[in-house]
């Protein structure tokens, strides 16, 4: 099929420079394993698991078959007042995988919906226990929690926020960013150790400013994925947990990227040994093939919400989506989680992540304009000095170059990330890293 077999006038592309895209389109028509196929039959290696989703690789038969079978059995049923068998089974499997007493799964369809859902649970929970005044949320600079108004407000990526003005939620604050570009530019499969404590700012400035008794929740990604794989200092999440506990503040981990294997463990929470009060997930839970997201809540949140004086016919939490726990999505999740388990793909992600990190550091260090390299879990990032006056252009140009050479990488500002499917082989890593190195040299 040639590119001109379809016209491109009608799709407004998300998070894409549309004007440039139309001059130089990138389109896929098929995918299998580690590769996409373009309309002209070229193979492109999926270096980013299709935006952190496709942990098990593309076109996995057990997932496809489960979906087809579900379509022929129960295609859809409403989620309100009734439910379906697959939603209960998927919730059970997810809760079994989650640490601590994270046992109650509220389904939605995306990471953005998970962010907003978790924030609404926080407000409802505090109100139910007589602390309705707790309505301050704290996020972090350069955090990403999707594009709903809640997630965007606690998010900290300036470009995503700047045109929305007072439509952003009030009573939101942000902790400082967790990257030290001078002392920790290069992080090689380890946690950076900071001399100073970046959470002093939370304790000594942000919480006193709002008064901790007014704070509903703190939300963070265990590792800041969308802004460019930024890794928190050693001990950071444990201390954040302690601070939240001390003040009765809920801790939400947004694990839309770190959940389901990316760290070589079930969740980032397991890798860091910290149990949040809510854990948001999406993406890898269905291997990306069908939208599904959710929030796993600790028992205490659900139990509190059920402790109501309202008569039994009254809904306890007025929230939900038409497609919450969609049977086809949940069938896909069940098959995906079984596949991850059967093929031990999380352990493999941990092993191949080390190979990827080694390749990044040994290949890119010292190349022109490279000012940082970070690797941990099954992802690695290389950061470039921006072109003066044109932030993001260097990484974008290198991304385009890599695509032409058959490798899909992920630009985030002046960072490029590779986060491959967990089925990645050494030869794929060599190919992706060499392609990226050549492109970096060409754009010196």
Ligand X SMILES: Cc1ncc(COP(=O)(O)O)c(C=O)c1O
Determine contact, residues 117/319, Cβ cutoff 8 Å.
yes
- Residue from 36, 107, 125, 144 touching ligand X (CB under 6 A): that is 144
Relative to beta strand 293-298, strand 278-281 is antiparallel
Find how far residue 287's CA is from the centre of its chain: 13
Q: Provide the minimum distance between the beta carbon of 126 and ligand X in the complex, in angstroms, as a whole number.
A: 22
Rounded distance between C-alpha atoms, residue 278 and residue 407, angstroms = 36
- Residue from 126, 145, 239, 361 touching ligand X (CB under 6 A): that is 145
The nearer residue to ligand X, 219 or 359, going by C-beta atoms, is: 219
Rounded distance between C-alpha atoms, residue 336 and residue 55, angstroms = 9
Q: What is the DSSP letter of 296?
A: E
The nearer residue to ligand X, 264 or 268, going by C-beta atoms, is: 268
The nearer residue to ligand X, 220 or 370, going by C-beta atoms, is: 220
Rounded distance between C-alpha atoms, residue 349 and residue 208, angstroms = 41
At 359, phi and psi to the nearest 5? -65, -40
The nearer residue to ligand X, 282 or 295, going by C-beta atoms, is: 282
Q: Provide the minimum distance between the beta carbon of 319 and ligand X in the complex, in angstroms, as a whole number.
A: 17
Six token digits for residue 40 = 């002209």
The nearer residue to ligand X, 161 or 300, going by C-beta atoms, is: 161
At 74, phi and psi to the nearest 5? -135, 100
In this structure, how many other beta carbons lie within 10 angstroms of the beta carbon of residue 177?
Answer: 16
Establish if 282 lies at the interface with ligand X (CB under 6 A): yes
Q: Provide the minimum distance between the beta carbon of 144 and ligand X in the complex, in angstroms, as a whole number.
A: 5
Determine contact, residues 251/263, Cβ cutoff 8 Å.
no
Site for ligand X in 243-262 (CB under 6 A): 254, 256-257
Q: Provide the minimum distance between the beta carbon of 237 and ligand X in the complex, in angstroms, as a whole number.
A: 15
Contacts of 49 (CB under 8 A, 6+ apart): 55, 284, 288, 419, 420, 421
Establish if 146 lies at the interface with ligand X (CB under 6 A): yes
- Residue from 47, 57, 111, 268 touching ligand X (CB under 6 A): that is 111
The nearer residue to ligand X, 50 or 112, going by C-beta atoms, is: 112
Q: What is the DSSP letter of 386?
A: P
- Contact mark string toward ligand X, 204..223, x via CB under 6 A: -----------------x--
Binding residues for ligand X (CB under 6 A): 110-112, 115, 144-146, 221, 225-226, 254, 256-257, 282
């Amino acid at each position: 099929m040639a590119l001109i077999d379809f016209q491109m006038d009608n799709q407004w592309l998300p998070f894409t420079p549309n004007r440039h895209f139309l001059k130089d389109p990138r389109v896929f028509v098929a995918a299998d394993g580690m590769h996409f196929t373009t309309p002209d039959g070229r193979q492109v290696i999926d270096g980013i698991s299709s935006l952190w989703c496709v942990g098990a690789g593309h076109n996995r038969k057990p997932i496809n078959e489960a979906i087809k079978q579900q379509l022929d059995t129960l295609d859809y049923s409403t989620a309100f007042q009734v439910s379906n068998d697959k939603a209960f089974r998927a919730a059970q499997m997810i809760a079994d995988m989650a640490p601590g007493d994270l046992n109650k799964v509220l389904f939605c369809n995306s990471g953005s919906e998970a962010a907003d859902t978790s924030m609404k649970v926080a407000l409802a929970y505090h109100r139910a226990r007589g602390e309705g005044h707790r309505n301050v949320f704290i996020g972090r600079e350069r955090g990403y929690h999707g594009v709903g108004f809640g997630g965007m407000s606690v998010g900290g990526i300036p470009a995503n926020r700047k045109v929305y003005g007072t439509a952003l939620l009030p009573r939101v604050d942000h902790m400082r960013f967790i990257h030290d570009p001078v002392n920790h530019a290069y992080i090689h499969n380890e946690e950076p150790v900071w001399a100073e404590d970046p959470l002093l700012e939370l304790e000594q400035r942000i919480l006193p400013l709002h008064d901790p008794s007014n704070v509903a929740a703190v939300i963070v990604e265990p590792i800041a994925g969308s802004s460019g794989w930024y890794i928190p200092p050693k001990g950071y999440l444990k201390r954040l947990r302690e601070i939240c506990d001390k003040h009765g503040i809920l801790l939400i981990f947004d694990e839309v990227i770190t959940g389901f294997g990316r760290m070589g463990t079930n969740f980032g929470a397991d890798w860091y040994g910290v149990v949040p009060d809510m854990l948001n997930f999406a993406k890898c839970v269905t291997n990306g093939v069908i939208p599904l997201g959710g929030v796993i809540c600790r028992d205490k949140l659900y139990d509190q919400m059920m402790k109501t004086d309202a008569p039994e016919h009254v809904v306890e939490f007025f929230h939900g989506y038409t497609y919450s726990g969609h049977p086809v999505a949940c069938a896909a999740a069940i098959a995906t989680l079984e596949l991850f388990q059967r093929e031990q793909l999380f352990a493999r992600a941990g092993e191949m992540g080390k190979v990827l990190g080694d390749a990044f550091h040994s290949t890119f260090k010292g190349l022109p304009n490279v000012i940082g390299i970070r690797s941990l879990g099954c992802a690695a990032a290389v950061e470039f000095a921006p072109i003066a006056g044109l932030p993001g252009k260097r990484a974008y140009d290198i991304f385009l170059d890599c695509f032409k050479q058959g490798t899909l990488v992920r630009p985030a500002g002046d960072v490029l990330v590779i986060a491959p499917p967990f089925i990645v082989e050494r030869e794929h890593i060599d190919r992706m890293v060499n392609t990226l190195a050549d492109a970096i040299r060409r754009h010196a």
